[in-house]
Structure 1
């Protein structure tokens, strides 16, 4: 193992064998949560290191502020030969009284999920079908997990990643300007989001241990009714990346039940219905 000093944070970062300072500093998910999640959350306090430009006396930890003291990278996975994929770390976070926060974090970076709604060309105003994927998910112990189409954001934009994922998983080519961000439309009102911690507007499916945040988009498309039958049960996905995906079309009114194990799907349903009630969709 080796240790270097993070110049911007002025704190030690310990690395396992096979991982270099250049690797971890070039890994966007490492810089994003450490610099814009951990630090802003703690920077509401007057004694955070590095010292913030201002503090928030209304924050519950203002009187006994916590500081990020060190980071230890425990393990990592690569996608291919050179691309860093997943990172597991522990962050030492404590206050002067010796009280600590749990700091185990699995870094995988941001993702996107797409609620693709198809309306038959002869349908009434309320007939819509949602496109789901059925695929193996080893972490869940499932060979046929039903969920919304989703994918990781690499170096591009959230909306660009969403458009790309729709094309790869569903075979639908949709322009970026045809996607609507449900997450952005449902942005929390001022003062309702963690005392001004300015978290990204997205769904956090497992914030107790994982940095993943999922921006949720919707696209509605009118298609010939025969096209619905053609898409349902279609085998798709990127074979060279080990994807074996079957498409499943379900009535939108049944989406909450058909994909009830999928946090992305339930979030999309809640956002879509809430925004419809408020007249924003």
Structure 2
């Protein structure tokens, strides 16, 4: 089944919840970028959390960008996601892998690092974007997104994200959930959820065993307490195109484009997110230079 996300309420609306299976999304990212296992886990966790965060936005045109820089060997993690469930992401250094950590899991914290920040820029179609930033608290990313919700948005939350990687570097399972406590929630509800969270399997293991996004929420909140509001598809989707890169070249201005023609006689562009490459000939560049001159002269 294709990846999808569920939105739900629990305990008579006192708890808001999201869950998602992103196995195919992260598989596509891994295939395109050829990430090694620890890098795949870091990127997959970031993309999964960002996907859920983006679907919390109102309006299909709204989107956000998440940037994680922890000083680790993986470099920066950049994720773009929108309210329609379309997500893309990349890591600066995809060829990162370490031995399993002391918990027997991929050592994401070592790859990401803990000396840095997680920042979120939301484009809500207004004059100025909303920006929030928090220091990394663990580098494992689930805890870091939890801290972001609590600190930057003042919403008590629990974020769980996980990725399992096959021996051949392909993705076995990926997904996550977000549980958010609304104002007015009773203490016994919170205690109930905390105890369930302590005793459930890791989210990636649940998805590997066949649990759906709905079942993930049932496992945490109890099926009798959950009301599913909606389901929607999510996917890896990149907005790059030959035309977009051409527009970017034109925006450099006539002089710089003429320099490119003199130096190389061509131009090549590569998208960090999807790894697609675009080639522009000398004739293309001459046309771009002419267009840039027209734009400058009005």
Which TM class, normalised by the smaller chain length?
under 0.3
Higher relative contact order (CA 8 A, sep 6+): 2
| Larger fraction in strand | 1
Q: Normalising to structure 2: TM-score of the pair? A: 0.20
More helix by share: 2
